[in-house]
């Protein structure tokens, strides 16, 4: 069983993303939502709201995903996004937790606090993003200053700063103002992409001692994402066992699988090829052992993706005889 947070996207006033569950075992896995906290977080499964106590199952070798929408916090106080799932397999319950914390509104806050940008071959030298900056003060005059970059890497530029909402007294004696900040990230060459998250500081005119930080994470999403190894557990000699695997474009660009082959006679790909151009393909792999003991081979997929024209996947299986 494996799970990961994937496909995070920023929208106006919220983040959306998918939490992916992959069943790599040979049995059915039951997933149940046990706990949620903070009304900012909503979950959906197959287009329907997911509530505490709801459950779904994952077939062997299959993937299921839960869609999430996380609203920006709008008021002072601690805001946490949390959801606990249990996965039931091999007779045991396992806990999977999604946990994200939002800032406490004190003086200056920013959403999102973590910005993740993916670079692909078609747009490797430039990316843009925006953040919402909020300043809260008991003095209305404090909200007159304009935000600026106080500490930032040289490849990051603040291109536009616009007022999203003017001074408002959202609580008695407490004033708040919002700015929408737009940034550009530029790289002269792919090799100069930093390998660690970058810390960026913003401050206001006249109050440089007060600043707020956010983290900028940059990653490359070239080529095709695929499992490096497919394992078939104990299988009787000459018995057929199937596995479904997913290969998908990391940059969300459609591609086709042009051909598929195996260098071992016990393993074969039965999905028809060539395929249509899609962002994600499901491939059916069959294991019919012809010899006892360990069987090892390599599957080779030829694709139309410019960054992954050939994919190699290791396959392993163990055969036994009664």
Domain C-terminal end among 220, 250, 270: 220
pLDDT (mean) for 173-184:
90
pLDDT > 90 in the chain, percent: 21
Q: What share of the chain is helix, strand, coil (3-state, %, to 5)?
A: 5, 65, 30
CATH number of the domain bearing residue 119: 2.60.40
Q: Are residues 16 and 98 in the same domain?
A: yes
pLDDT at 103: 43
Specify whether 132 is located in the same domain as 194. Answer: yes
Residue 2 pLDDT grade (very low, low, confident, very high; cuts 50, 70, 90): low
**Which residue among 102, 136, 151 closes a domain?**
102
Is 238 or 187 the better-scoring residue by pLDDT?
238
CATH code for the domain in which residue 263 is found = 2.60.40.10
Q: Global pTM?
A: 0.43
Among 181, 202, 220, the domain boundary falls at 220
Query: What count of Cα atoms within 13 Å lies in the side-chain half-sphere of residue 236?
Result: 3
Same domain, 119 and 98: no
> Do 36 and 95 share a domain, yes or no?
yes
Q: Are 15 and 33 found together in one domain?
A: yes
- For residue 102, what are its two tokens? 């939002």
Q: How many CB atoms lie within 10 A of CB 167?
A: 16
Could you report the per-residue pLDDT of 141-150, keeping only the tens digit for each?
888 888 999 8
* pLDDT value for 8: 54
**Listed range (25-39, 70-84, 202-216) with the worst mean pLDDT:** 70-84
pLDDT at 6: 56
The verdict on 65 and 82 lying in the same domain is yes
pLDDT of residue 313: 93
Check residue 104 and give its pLDDT.
42
DSSP letters along 55-99, please? EEEE-TT-EEEEEEEEEPP-SSS-EEEEEEEEEEETTEEEEEEEE
Same domain, 183 and 230: no
The β-bridge relationship of strands 280-287 and 2-11 is: unpaired
What radius of gyration do the chain's Cα atoms show?
25
Read off the pLDDT band of 174 (50, 70, 90).
confident
Overall domain count for the chain: 3
For the chain, how many residues are written? Answer: 322
pLDDT at 127: 82
The whole domain housing 59 covers 2-102
Q: List pLDDT tens digits, range 194-237.
A: 777 889 999 888 765 578 889 998 877 677 888 888 999 888 88
pLDDT of residue 205: 82
**What is the overall mean pLDDT for the chain?**
80
- Asked if 293 and 216 sit in the same domain, the reply is no
| 112 in the same domain as 215 | yes
Q: Are residues 216 and 236 in the same domain?
A: no
Residue 102 confidence (pLDDT) above 70: no
Same domain, 228 and 193: no
How confident is the model over 263-302, as pLDDT tens digits?
999 999 987 777 888 888 988 999 999 888 899 999 999 9
- Which two three-digit tokens encode residue 176? 């708040």
- CATH of residue 25's domain is 2.60.40.1230
> How far is the CA of 80 from the CAs of 83, 100, 101, 170, 275, in angstroms?
10, 6, 4, 21, 44
Domain match, 6 and 68 both: yes
- Between 144 and 36, whose confidence is greater? 144
pLDDT band, residue 123 (cuts 50/70/90): low
């Amino acid at each position: 069983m494996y799970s990961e947070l994937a496909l995070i996207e920023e929208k106006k006033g919220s983040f959306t993303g998918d939490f992916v569950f992959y069943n790599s075992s040979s049995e059915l896995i039951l997933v149940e939502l046990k706990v949620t906290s903070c009304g900012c977080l909503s979950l959906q499964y197959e287009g329907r709201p997911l509530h505490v106590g709801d459950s779904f199952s994952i077939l062997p070798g299959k993937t299921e995903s839960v869609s999430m929408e996380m609203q920006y916090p709008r008021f002072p106080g601690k805001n946490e996004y949390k959801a606990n799932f249990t996965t039931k397999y091999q007779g045991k319950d396992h806990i999977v937790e999604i946990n994200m914390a939002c800032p406490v509104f004190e003086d200056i806050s920013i959403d999102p606090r973590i910005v993740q940008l993916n670079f692909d071959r078609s747009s490797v030298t430039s990316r843009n993003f925006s953040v919402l900056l909020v300043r809260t003060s008991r003095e209305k005059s404090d909200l007159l200053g304009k935000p600026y970059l106080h500490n930032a890497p040289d490849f990051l530029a603040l291109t536009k700063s616009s007022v999203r909402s003017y001074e408002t007294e959202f609580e008695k004696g407490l004033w708040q103002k919002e700015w929408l900040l737009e940034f550009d990230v530029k790289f002269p060459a792919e090799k100069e992409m930093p390998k660690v998250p970058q810390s960026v500081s913003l401050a206001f005119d006249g109050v440089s001692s007060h600043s707020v930080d956010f983290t900028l994470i940059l990653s490359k999403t070239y080529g095709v994402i695929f499992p490096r190894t497919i394992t078939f557990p104990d299988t009787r000699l000459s018995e057929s066992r199937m596995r479904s695997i997913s290969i998908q474009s990391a940059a969300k660009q459609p591609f086709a699988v042009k051909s598929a082959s195996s260098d071992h006679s016990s393993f074969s790909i039965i999905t028809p090829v060539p395929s249509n151009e899609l962002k994600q393909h499901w491939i059916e792999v069959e294991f019919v052992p012809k010899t006892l003991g360990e069987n090892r081979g390599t599957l080779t997929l030829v694709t139309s993706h410019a960054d992954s024209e050939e994919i190699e996947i290791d396959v392993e299986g163990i055969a036994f005889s009664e």
